[in-house]
Structure 1
Amino acid sequence: MSALAHIFAVTLPFFALVLCGYTAARSRLLPLDAVAGLNMFVLYFALPCMLYRFGNSTPIGQLLDPVICVLWLCAASLVVAFAAWLGRNRGATWPDAAMGALVAAFPNSGFMGVPLILALLGESAVGPVMSTLLIDLAVTTSVCIGLSQWGAAGESGAFKAAGRALKGVLRNPMPWAILLGAMSGALEIRLWQPVSQTVSLLGNAASPVALFTIGAVLARSQMQADHRDVQTRQLKDVGWMVACKLLAHPLMIFGLGSAAVKAGALRGEILASLVLTAALPSASNVSLLAERFGASNGRIARIILWSTCVAFLTFSAVSSVYVGLPATQAQPSAR
């Protein structure tokens, strides 16, 4: 079996589960009212348990690695700046420009990235993915939400919006699950066996249910999109935003990360995990944020949908560069 065929054999089941969820919701086999319940189960029960387990085996120093943080923030800042400028240049409002920037810079690392990269690179690659998730939840999302209110509410309104976003981060169980797991691992705290077994069962359910839920959320967002929003439909930037997410973002991570590897500040296997994370499709929860902060939910839903469809090919292609390489060769030549 060729390397690319092996990659497709790993990635196809993950994207197939997304398609199953999309088809079930689109055909109304899964009632749209049930999607919120699935999302709640994944977000508050299954996914935190899975992240807790991985956080338990990941040193806190790796989760808060300054090189990873600076590298990821620099790439995210460049993507956000370009995507926001492109949106404004095409006549988008600040909410549309900011949410377009967020959907171009925020990969689906929680619902899809952790289980998919685990299957491709092994458990040692999950730590950097969780680091990027913490950064995107706490910083990237807050900055873009603040930016979305810049024109409408003025500077103070933007900072207030960013403050509300940070409060939302504090209510999100995913970063707490990661940090709690890392702290319990550092303190060598072991859960009582029945509790540990419950956490294990919920964690094992996270991957399939999360992937199915992604498809259902995409279908619901598309079906509920406001197609009468003429202004945002005239932006015609869905292709640009998808290209930012699937091409520009991983290329920036690769370029900055290669320089860090050459300087001896970053290991090649960590760069592989970061590049694959950046190559993931857009986070599905951005459509909910777009609706909440006054952006066109239909436009964002189309970007997420197309990035997910195209990522089956682009993510598999990027994976073929890294999967199967020894750790010392995990950073391919930039030439």
Structure 2
Amino acid sequence: MPNCCRSWPAGLADMAVLFAVVLPVFGLVGAGWLARRAGWMGAGAAIEMNHFVVHLAMPALLFQIMSRATWRQLDMPGFIAAFGLASAAIFASTVAWRRLRGGALADASLEGLNAAYANVGFIGFPLCMAAFGADSMTPVTIAAILTVCALFAMALAVLEFGLGTGGTRAILARVGASLARNPMLVAPALGALYAYAGPPLPAGAERFVTLLASAASPCALVSLGLFLAEPRARPDMTGLGIQVVLKLVGQPLLTWVLAHWVFRLPPALTAIAVILAALPTGTGPFMLANLYGRKADGVAGSVLVSTVLSIATITVLLTWLTNSA
């Protein structure tokens, strides 16, 4: 059980997790939502704060975590396989289901990303820090890299093939260029290289990175709330419902099966993998839909509905996993 909740009576364990771990994290999302709805922050606030998080604060956090990690800490093949394979399987099965129903491949790729793209960057870091402590930050970083790099690249390649814009070589070149420019991928890579070859950061540089990294989690959560507050058209509820169920139930269930039964991970690492898989849909699919001019209402709806429902599902999962660890 999370350290902050160990003194609670066993019968109140779920309420302990809810009030001590889950609600403070999602409360920041609610603060962003309220700020936008009340008019305290303008229509461009979500975009600008998201830019700050993605290009400055979150890269600083990822660099700091990886620069302090040892190669032994990064040696987590079972965790990588359990989280990565579950994400890929949910993505592929959603794309296949959508194609069988006659959907365009480009749109099927976005729906698959909806069902598999866990919001590790914005919610995973503060939630796991509160629930599991600082030791969880390295596996959370690995999961973030798998999500924003491997899964995103897979969806981007399928979307490009669906649009048929150029040959295979041109498509792969565009995917590679997109990943090479992604600060959420570049920053942890630089951090790992620095941990291997660089000297300790000078005190001033360390303080600068720490201040910037400290802003990542609260700003990311408020930015998500600002995004969710924007009015949008009503999406297709049938497709949305299936994607949300796959995201909040299917992905964590498959991750648990792989982590617990196939790769035999320790209970604590299994719990982290499952909670990360159970996170709601991140904003990456919405950004991709806007970039390619695809209908984004369903994507935004998936982010909103899965985020709201995940307050309950994550509370239940945290209570179960931490009590059984």
TM-score above 0.5: yes
> Match for residue 192 of structure 2?
182
SS at the partner of 2:191? helix
Taking the aligned partners of 1:259 and 1:159, their CA distance within structure 2 comes to 39
Alignment of 1:1-335 (within 5 A): 1=8, 2-9=12-19, 10-63=21-74, 65-153=76-164, 157=167, 160-187=170-197, 189-220=199-230, 223=231, 225=232, 233-234=235-236, 236-262=238-264, 266-323=265-322, 325=323, 330=325
Instruction: Give the TM-score normalised by the residue count of structure 1.
Output: 0.86
Partners of 2:289 and 2:75 in 1: CA distance: 29
Query: If the length of structure 2 is used for normalisation, what is the TM-score?
Result: 0.89
Contact (CA 8 Å) 2:45, 2:226: kept in 1 or not? no
Extract unaligned runs of 5+ from structure 1: 228-232, 331-335
Matched-pair contact (CA < 8 Å) for 1:142–1:162 = no
Given the superposition, is the C-alpha separation of residues 199 and 242 from structure 1 closer, same or farther in structure 2, using an over 3 Å criterion? same
Cα contact 1:24–1:30 (8 A) shared by 2: yes
Deviates more, 1:14-23 or 1:298-307: 14-23
Structure 1 pair 26–200 and aligned structure 2 pair: CA distance change class (3 A): same
User: Residue 234 of structure 1: CA displacement?
Assistant: 4.8
Cα distance change, pair 168–5 in 1 and its aligned pair in 2 (3 A): same
Contact 1:22 1:217 in 2 (8 A): yes
Alpha-carbon RMSD: 2.2
Quote the offset at 1:174 in angstroms: 2.0
Q: Which stretch has the larger CA shift, 269-278 or 48-57?
A: 48-57
Q: CA deviation at 1:141?
A: 0.8
| Matched residue count | 314
**Any conservation in 1 of the 2:32–2:222 contact (CA below 8 Å)?**
yes
In the TM superposition, what whole-angstrom CA distance separates every residue of 1:196-225 from its partner, at most 9, and x where no partner exists?
1111111111111110001112233xx3x4
What amino acid sits opposite 1:252 in the alignment?
L
Contact 1:226 1:298 in 2 (8 A): yes
Taking the aligned partners of 2:93 and 2:101, their CA distance within structure 1 comes to: 12
Amino acid in structure 2 at the alignment position of 1:318: L
- The 1:61/1:32 distance shift into structure 2, 3 A limit, reads farther
- Quote the Cα distance in structure 1 between the aligned partners of 2:117 and 2:222: 20
Structure 2: state its 5+ residue gaps: 1-7
Aligned counterparts of 1:121 and 1:234: Cα–Cα separation in 2: 37
Residues 157 and 239 of structure 1, relative CA distance in 2, 3 Å threshold: farther
The alpha carbon displacement at 1:171 in A equals 1.4
Given residue 303 of structure 1, which amino acid in structure 2 is its aligned partner? S
Give the direction of change, closer, same or farther, for the CA distance of 1:64–1:134 in structure 2 (3 Å limit).
Answer: farther
Letter of the 1:131 counterpart: I
Counterpart-to-counterpart distance in 1, 2:303 and 2:133: 27
Matched residues in 2 for 1:71 and 1:246: separation?
Answer: 16
2:148 touches 2:184 (CA, 8 Å); kept in 1?
A: no
Aligned to 2:3: none
Contact kept in structure 2, 1:98 and 1:144, CA below 8 Å: yes
8 Å CA contact retained: 1:21, 1:213: yes
Asked if the contact 2:236–2:298 (Cα under 8 Å) also holds between the matched residues in 1, the reply is no
More deviation in 271-280 or 91-100?
Answer: 91-100
Deviation, 1:61, is 4.5
